[in-house]
Amino acid sequence: MAVLITLYVGTFAFFWLRSPSHFAFHNGVQYQVVDFEYNRFTWHTGVFWIPARWFMESVVGYRDIGVCSARERTVLYYARTKHRVRIEDLRKALLGKWMHEGGDFVSLASDGGFSSSWTNTYSPPTQVWGYQGTWTLNNDVLVFTVTNRSSGDSANMEKDTTEERWRLITVNDGELVSEFMNQTNTFYRRLIKKKRK
């Protein structure tokens, strides 16, 4: 019996640990998210893994937050609350290029630099502003310090604006939601397609 239990636990642990996991941040709380992916074996033996999944939920603290059904490619999503937000995790999750509607973007570099582009389509003529500077984290607030600006019309440049503060609401692998000047803005991770050789 002990051998069977060990084999059962080891098999489930193998599939669990090889599942993709990532960090997520929402309303000041950090989560560890696991994408438990079925394969042909685990799909056809799914009923046997119910006790193991119950253990992960009831003992370890994960909770089922969603499912993407695709038979043998089904993915179960689990999340576990982490009691203390790790700034280094949040910083790492923010790195890269984030896209907003209309082609606007903000790009955060690991060396603390940023660049962004914003388009004014509300009043003609359409104009594009570019910003560069540095970024830092102050708990759950993303602080931008602008050092360089460019615009097609210098008369419309925000000459007095040297700092912006975004309150972070949600940060995960594909989405960044923040609040700035009482307005909620959503950005999405830019996917860069690799060129085929």
Q: Which residue segments constitute the domains of the chain, with CATH numbers given?
A: 2-82 (no CATH), 87-189 (2.40.128.280)
pLDDT value at residue 87: 83
What is the distance between the alpha carbons of residues 103 and 117, in angstroms, rounded to a whole number? 8
Over its length of 197 residues, how does the chain's per-residue pLDDT go in tens digits? 888 889 999 999 999 988 888 778 877 778 888 888 888 888 888 888 999 999 999 998 898 888 888 777 788 888 888 766 678 888 888 999 999 877 789 999 999 999 998 887 666 677 788 888 999 998 889 999 998 888 755 545 455 568 899 999 988 888 899 999 888 989 998 644 444 44
Q: Which pLDDT does position 134 carry in this prediction?
A: 93
Contact 104, 123 (CB under 8 A): no
Tokens 């000041």 appear where?
Answer: 28
* DSSP structure string for 65-98: EEEE--GGG-EEEEEEEESS--HHHHHHHH-EEE
**Alpha-carbon distances of 80 from 63, 64, 68, 161, 169, rounded to whole Å:** 6, 9, 19, 39, 18
pLDDT (0 to 100) of residue 196: 46
pLDDT at 122: 66
What would the two tokens of residue 79 be?
Answer: 């999340």
Separation CA 2–CA 5 (nearest Å): 5
Nearest to 24 by CA among 177, 170, 187: 170
In this prediction, residue 153 carries a pLDDT of 54
Bridge partner residues of 25 (DSSP):
30, 171
Report the C-alpha gap between 171 and 185 in whole angstroms: 12
DSSP code of 174? Answer: S
Determine contact, residues 106/130, Cβ cutoff 8 Å.
no
Strand partners, 167: 141, 179
